[in-house]
């Protein structure tokens, strides 16, 4: 059989040695044999096959084809501008006897949208009706989009949630008073919350950076530098801001479920049915 395969291949530089081909033997202590002549410009080698390994690979492939394929889509939530406040700042804005009033549970366990809102006051303009999210935190944090930055006349850095040291200042106004924060205004870095079981399924770990492809819509694109945040208390969901959602055409006309926080102010938490495909970032 080898002779038939290699016959008439002299034009490629392969010259078969009939004796070597006939006597070729491969075994555990000699796993290959040369079957071409010394004048052959291209060497032909007989190697030992591993039939058991190939049978095992084919068996695994057949088994995998019959198993159900787990869902690898990631629900996408679009975060409108919002704020997280400390108890001290909340009291200064809403009064010492006020308490955060939940109006809607959010996708992440224990988090909720509040009835209370604040106004953001920047050097150029102000934005009213910015939603407070609860519960209260140990550090003040206000999250806006790049478009909001232009409107307010500020330059907020892109930061992971909770990392506000050295971020932009902003003035907050509530019904009971104003608070000028020396820092705390950020443009939130896009990220994916996921349970540790989801992290295993996707093959990622907390703190990894990945790329996410948004496909199936009118403006497919890839988001890079997406942070993975994996904890047992998290539910699977990717968070992007309104500018990023607009770039991917994930709006009121997208195929998805809308959960309005308040129908009269256009603020929504949107869970899109567009497919997100995750790819690990390589160095």
Tell me, what's the pLDDT at 181?
Answer: 98
**Domain co-membership, 56 together with 123:** no
**What is the residue range of 260's domain?**
73-283
Q: How many domains does the chain have?
A: 2
Residue 254's pLDDT band, with cuts at 50, 70 and 90, is very low
Q: What is the mean pLDDT of residues 222-233?
A: 91
Name the residue with tokens 């939530």. Answer: 77
**Domain co-membership, 178 together with 257:** yes
DSSP annotation of 265 reads T
Alpha-carbon distances, residue 132 vs 79, 93, 140, 174, 207 (angstroms): 12, 11, 11, 11, 27
Lowest mean pLDDT among 27-41, 65-79, 182-196, 244-258: 244-258
**Domain co-membership, 139 together with 201:** yes
pLDDT at 158 over 60: yes
- What share of the chain in percent tops pLDDT 90? 47
Tell me, what's the pLDDT at 278?
Answer: 59
SS3 for 2? helix
Residue-wise pLDDT tens digits, 1-55? 777 777 777 888 888 888 888 888 877 677 788 888 998 888 888 887 778 888 9
Averaged pLDDT of the chain: 84
**Domain co-membership, 129 together with 237:** yes
**Domain co-membership, 62 together with 162:** no
Alpha-carbon distances, residue 179 vs 121, 159, 248 (angstroms): 10, 22, 35
Greater confidence (256 vs 239) lies with 239
Contacts 24+ apart (CB under 8 A), 160-163: 160/188, 160/189, 160/191, 160/227, 161/188, 161/189, 161/191
Tell me, what's the pLDDT at 166?
Answer: 97
Tell me, what's the pLDDT at 273?
Answer: 39
What pTM was computed for the model? 0.67
């Amino acid at each position: 059989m080898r002779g038939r395969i290699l016959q008439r291949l002299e034009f490629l530089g392969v010259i078969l040695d009939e004796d070597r081909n006939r006597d070729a033997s491969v075994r555990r202590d000699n796993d290959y044999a040369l079957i071409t002549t010394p004048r052959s410009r291209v060497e032909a080698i007989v190697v030992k096959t591993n039939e058991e390994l190939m049978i095992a690979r084919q068996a695994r492939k057949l088994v995998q084809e019959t198993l159900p394929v787990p869902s690898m889509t990631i629900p996408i939530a679009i975060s409108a501008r919002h704020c997280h406040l400390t108890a001290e700042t909340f009291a200064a804005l809403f009064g010492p006897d006020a308490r955060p009033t939940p109006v809607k549970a959010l996708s992440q366990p224990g988090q909720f949208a509040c009835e209370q809102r604040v106004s953001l006051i920047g050097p150029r303009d102000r934005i009213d009706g910015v939603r407070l999210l609860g519960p209260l935190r140990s550090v003040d944090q206000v999250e806006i989009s790049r478009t909001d930055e232009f409107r307010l006349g500020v330059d907020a850095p892109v930061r992971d949630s909770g990392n506000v040291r050295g971020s932009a200042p902003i003035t907050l106004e509530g019904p009971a008073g104003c608070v000028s924060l020396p820092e705390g205004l950020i443009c939130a870095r896009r990220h994916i919350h996921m349970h540790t079981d989801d992290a295993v399924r996707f093959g990622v770990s907390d703190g990894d950076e990945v790329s996410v492809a948004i496909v199936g819509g009118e403006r497919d694109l890839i988001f890079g530098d997406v942070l993975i945040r994996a904890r047992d208390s998290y539910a699977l969901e990717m968070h992007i801001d309104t500018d990023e959602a607009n770039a991917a055409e994930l709006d009121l006309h997208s195929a998805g479920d809308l959960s309005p926080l308040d129908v009269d102010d256009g603020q929504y938490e949107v869970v899109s049915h567009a497919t997100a495909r995750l790819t690990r970032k390589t160095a």
